[in-house]
Amino acid sequence: MDNSENLFDINTLLKTLTVHLRHVAEEKHIDLIYDMHTSIPRELRGDNVVLERLLTTLLTFIYKHTDRPELLLTLDATEDFLYEEDISFILEKTNIDKDQILAFLETGLGKDLDSLNGKIVYEPGMDVHLKIPFKIGELGFRRHYRLPFTAMLKKKVLLVIDSENLTTSIANMFKYFQYEVDIGSQKEALDLLAYDLVIIEDCLVFESFVDLMKKAQKKKDVKCVLIGEDGKQDCACGNALSMHLNKPVTQESIFELIISLFDHVSPLENDVEPFEDLPEESSELLDIKALFAAHEHHDKEDVVVHQLDSLIESKQSADVQVLNIDLGLVNAKKMGLNYKVELKNFLDIFDHSDIYFRQIVGEVSTYKIKEFCIDLEQKSKAIGAESMSNFADVVSLIFVYDKLDLLPIYPGRYHIELQKLVIEIGRYLDK
Does the structure show a pLDDT above 70 at 171?
Answer: yes
pTM higher than the cut 0.85? no
What local confidence, expressed as pLDDT, does residue 143 receive?
57
Q: Which of residues 274 and 394 earns the better pLDDT score?
A: 394
65-93 burial code (b ≥16 CB/10 A, e <16): ebebeebbbbbbbeeebeeebbbbbbbee
More confident residue, 293 or 344: 344
Distance CA 347, CA 102 (A): 43
- pLDDT, position 276: 46
More confident residue, 187 or 272: 187
pLDDT tens string 284-340 = 888 888 887 777 655 444 454 555 566 666 666 667 899 999 999 998 888 889 999
| Torsion of the alpha carbons at 45, 50, 52 and 56, rounded to the nearest 10 | -160
Model confidence band, residue 65 (pLDDT cutoffs 50, 70, 90): very high
pLDDT score recorded for residue 117: 95
Radius of gyration of the chain from Cα atoms? 26
81 backbone φψ class: left, alpha, beta (φ>0; ψ -120 to 50)? beta
The Cα 192–Cα 220 span in angstroms is 9
Give the C-alpha separation, 243 to 220, whole Å. 17
Residues 174-191 have a mean pLDDT of: 89
pLDDT at residue number 274: 43
Q: Is the peptide bond before 248 cis (omega within 30 degrees of 0)?
A: yes
DSSP state of 262: T
Name the residue type at position 118: G
* pLDDT for the residue numbered 318: 67
Does 367 score more than 70 pLDDT? yes
pLDDT on residue 231: 45
pLDDT of residue 289: 80
Mean model confidence pLDDT for the chain = 84
Q: Give pLDDT tens digits for 412-423.
A: 889 999 999 999
**347 with 425: CB under 8 angstroms?**
yes
Least confident of 71-75, 95-99, 234-238, 380-384: 234-238
What digits encode the pLDDT tens for the residues 194-239? 999 999 988 888 888 888 989 999 999 999 999 986 544 455 566 7
